[in-house]
Chain A
Amino acid sequence: MDALVLGLVLGGLYALLAQSFVLTFITTKTLNFAVGEFVALGAFVVLAVAGWSWLPDVGKLAVGVLVAAVVGAAAYRFLVVPFMTEGEHDVRWLLSTVALSFVMLNLITNVEGPSPQRSETARLSGAVDVLGAGVSKQQLLIAVLAVVVTVLLVVASKKTSAGLVMRAVSQDPETTSLMGVSPRLVGMVTYAVAMGIAALTGTLYAATVGASPVMGAPLLVASIAVAVVGGLSSLWGPLLGGALYGVLSEVTSYEFGAIWGETAGLLLVIVVLVWRPQGLLGRRTEVKL
């Protein structure tokens, strides 16, 4: 039971970050492999403004999110767009975002040093009892936020005109441009939102483990796994994928030891990929005329 609750909570963390992958995949069919470094970037920006006592914590979070959003939009414009010009089989963006990941990692390490720094912004201390399991309030906050962010995104995609444009671009970017909407602009906005979410995740996570240049790396593998299991083209996917992945890996490590936890999670990915390559909630891409 404990492992189940802890698994769900952990899955929430992965799900929140997985939303960054899903968002960019839906509108641009690309993934930013530097997401882990945007996690760190957000955490360090918030750390840098932590001393601004006139600004409430929400404001500090917003600064971190905004900076990551701007860098994210620029990354799409200058490191993704130029490397996806040759059609669907052009995946040079994969290399350029991995390169960005290394560059950001080195830059952040040069400026901040390698060791974790304590982050107090938006930090809840203590634990609460959830169905008999002791859960840290901070982790619970992250999991709740994953649900809130997901619901907001789903509602926005169904009910707002920006959401309509997002769905249109995901189905047919070329025709979207014939409707007077630039798919490239939509991509930049999506990257901004997605990297903002990564930065938000980073700040909240840094409150538990400290801010460090490599803090995003362990989250990256798990959140890609979660995004793939749930389906890269589904906004609900991360919650389902996160719950399955989190519970499976927690229960497995509880029963068989820690090293088996992550292995079980990755086995889940393989099983899903074989059985449903588009993910549990994903849509097969339509063949169009």
Chain B
Amino acid sequence: MSLEVDRLECGYDRAPILHGVSLRVGPGELVAVVGSNGAGKTTLVRTIAGLLTVRSGDLRVDGSSFARTSAARRARSGIVMVPEGRRLFPQLTVGENIEMGRRAARGRTGGEDPVAALLDAFPILTERWDQQANLLSGGEQQMVALTRAVAARPRYLLLDEPSLGLSPLKTLEVFRLIEMIRERTGAGILLVEQMADQALQAADRAYVLELGRVSMEGPAAEVRASDEVRRAYLGVAG
């Protein structure tokens, strides 16, 4: 039972970007992928979500390959991505954006509505329900993007730099929301971040991605404590 990326190679037209990346996310697990700008983090999550094609290697969920299925089908099977830059539908309201998320959960209903709990915990979402998404602040947009993803009833959730462009305070709030999503939905979460510290503190396990290769992996606390990571990603002078 897990989401597996197996010796994945992919990229754009002629440029190969990932050179055999392997990683695993278990159910309910929070896994961080850290790496500097241009390391290939976005390429990785977009490929898992089905927006880029797999050149070689495999993607599996619970043992069966989904490397050849469409992005829409992956979303319907519960592999849900929150893209870099959030990508809300700018002219839809908050409510309509979240309604779009529910489309991916069609046929996988039952149990309590995962969105309801988030709306209770973050009343700002309800306050903004009828507002057009592009009028929200960056922090609010990220909350909506995460809620929209939860509406899709994710089994595995891919988060591409959720803290991008947010103040430290807003970042904390977003991480609080991510933590809550993990508890409420039991989804396995793959969290991609350039701001490594916060991600490594929140995660169970972590991978370091460098120039399209995994250069280190292990329990998040160990990765966070290692000299290379402290120097390269946490700004600690060596």
Are A288 and B91 closer than 8 Å at their CB atoms? no
Are A177 and B72 closer than 8 Å at their CB atoms? yes
Are B106 and A286 closer than 8 Å at their CB atoms? no
Residue of A nearest to B85 (CB): A289
A48 at the interface (CB under 8 A from B): no
* CB-CB under 8 A for A181 and B89, given A164-B100, A165-B100, A176-B100: no
Q: How far is the CA of A168 from the CA of B148 in the complex (A)?
A: 13
Are B90 and A171 closer than 8 Å at their CB atoms? yes
Residue of A nearest to B76 (CB): A180
Range class of the B interface residue count: 20 to 34
Q: Which of B72, B90, B100, B105 contacts A182 (CB 8 A)?
A: B72
Nearest-neighbour CB distance to chain A for B154, whole angstroms, equals 11
B229 at the interface (CB under 8 A from A): no
- The digit string for A234-269, where 1 denotes a CB below 8 A from any CB of B, is 000000000000000000000000000000000000
A168: chain B residues within 8 A (beta carbon):
89, 92, 96, 100
Q: How far is the CA of A161 from the CA of B98 in the complex (A)?
A: 12
B99 at the interface (CB under 8 A from A): yes
Residue of A nearest to B70 (CB): A182
* CB-CB under 8 A for A178 and B71, given A164-B92, A171-B89, A171-B91: yes
- The digit string for B83-102, where 1 denotes a CB below 8 A from any CB of A, is 10111011110001001110
B59 at the interface (CB under 8 A from A): no
B203 at the interface (CB under 8 A from A): no
Are A174 and B72 closer than 8 Å at their CB atoms? no
In chain B, residues 73-87, which have Cβ atoms closer than 8 Å to a Cβ of chain A?
73, 75-76, 80-81, 83, 85-87
Are A180 and B106 closer than 8 Å at their CB atoms? yes
Are A178 and B99 closer than 8 Å at their CB atoms? no
Nearest-neighbour CB distance to chain A for B69, whole angstroms, equals 11
Q: How far is the CA of A183 from the CA of B70 in the complex (A)?
A: 11
* CB-CB under 8 A for A172 and B72, given A164-B92, A178-B49, A286-B134: no
Q: How far is the CA of A82 from the CA of B108 in the complex (A)?
A: 32
A179 at the interface (CB under 8 A from B): yes
Are B90 and A286 closer than 8 Å at their CB atoms? yes
* CB-CB under 8 A for A164 and B104, given A175-B87, A177-B72, A179-B152: no
Nearest-neighbour CB distance to chain A for B133, whole angstroms, equals 10
Nearest-neighbour CB distance to chain B for A231, whole angstroms, equals 15
A123 at the interface (CB under 8 A from B): no
Are B134 and A180 closer than 8 Å at their CB atoms? no
Q: Which residues of B contact A (CB under 8 A)?
A: 49-51, 70-73, 75-76, 80-81, 83, 85-87, 89-92, 96, 99-101, 103-106, 134, 148, 152
> Could you show 10 A-B contacts with beta carbons less than 8 Å apart?
A161-B103, A164-B96, A167-B89, A167-B92, A168-B92, A175-B83, A178-B71, A179-B148, A179-B152, A288-B85
Q: Which residues of A contact B (CB under 8 A)?
A: 161, 164-165, 167-168, 171-172, 174-183, 283, 286, 288-289
Q: A174-B51, A177-B50 are in contact. List 13 more A-B contacts (CB 8 A).
A: A161-B103, A165-B103, A168-B96, A171-B90, A177-B72, A178-B71, A178-B81, A178-B104, A179-B75, A179-B101, A180-B73, A180-B75, A180-B104
